[in-house]
Amino acid sequence: MNAKELQALRRICLFTITVYVKAWFTAPVTCDAPYNNLCMLQSTESFRSIDIQVAEVALHKMKAHLWYISEDLAGLSLFSDKVLADEKKLMVSALCKPQNKADLRRIDPKTIKTFQEQTLSAFVTQRSMHLFTTLKLSQDFLASDPETWNSREDYRHAKETVAALSVVNDCAERAVKLATDFNLAPTHDEKQRQLIFQVVEHHRKQMPTAPLKKFFTLQ
CA angle 202, 207, 210 (to 5 degrees): 120
* pLDDT, average across residues 181-210: 77
On the question of pLDDT at 214 being above 50, the answer is no
pLDDT digits (tens, 9 = 90+) for 142-169: 999 999 999 999 999 999 999 999 887 7
pLDDT digits (tens, 9 = 90+) for 22-43: 999 999 999 999 999 999 999 9
Total structural domains within the chain: 2
Which among 77, 98, 128 is the end of a domain?
Answer: 128
**Which of these, 85, 167, 82, 89, lies nearest to 121 by C-alpha position?**
89
Q: For residues 175 and 79, which has the higher predicted lDDT (pLDDT)?
A: 79
**Which of these, 146, 136, 38, lies nearest to 92 by C-alpha position?**
146
In a domain, 133, yes or no: no
What's the whole-number average pLDDT of the chain? 87
Long-range pairs for 92-96: beta carbons < 8 A, 24 or more residues apart: 92/142, 92/146, 93/121, 94/121, 94/122, 94/124, 94/125, 94/128, 95/124, 95/125, 95/126, 95/128, 95/129, 95/142, 96/126
The pLDDT, as a whole number, for residue 208 is: 72
The pLDDT, as a whole number, for residue 211 is: 58
Q: For residues 217 and 208, which has the higher predicted lDDT (pLDDT)?
A: 208
Q: What pLDDT band is residue 173 in, cutting at 50, 70 and 90?
A: low
In a domain, 150, yes or no: no
In a domain, 161, yes or no: no
The pLDDT, as a whole number, for residue 172 is: 58
CB proximity list for 68: less than 8 A, separation 6 or greater: 33, 34, 36, 37, 74, 76, 167
Same domain, 115 and 24: yes
Cα–Cα distance, 205 to 188 (Å, whole number) = 26
In a domain, 92, yes or no: yes
Same domain, 19 and 118: yes
The pLDDT, as a whole number, for residue 50 is: 95
Same domain, 181 and 111: no
Q: What pLDDT band is residue 218 in, cutting at 50, 70 and 90?
A: very low
Same domain, 96 and 182: no
In a domain, 211, yes or no: yes
Which among 128, 159, 186 is the end of a domain?
Answer: 128
What is the residue range of 16's domain? 3-128
In a domain, 147, yes or no: no
pLDDT digits (tens, 9 = 90+) for 92-144: 999 999 988 765 677 888 888 899 989 999 999 999 999 999 999 999 999 99
In a domain, 155, yes or no: no
pTM of the entire structure? Answer: 0.74
The pLDDT, as a whole number, for residue 120 is: 95
Q: What pLDDT band is residue 195 in, cutting at 50, 70 and 90?
A: confident
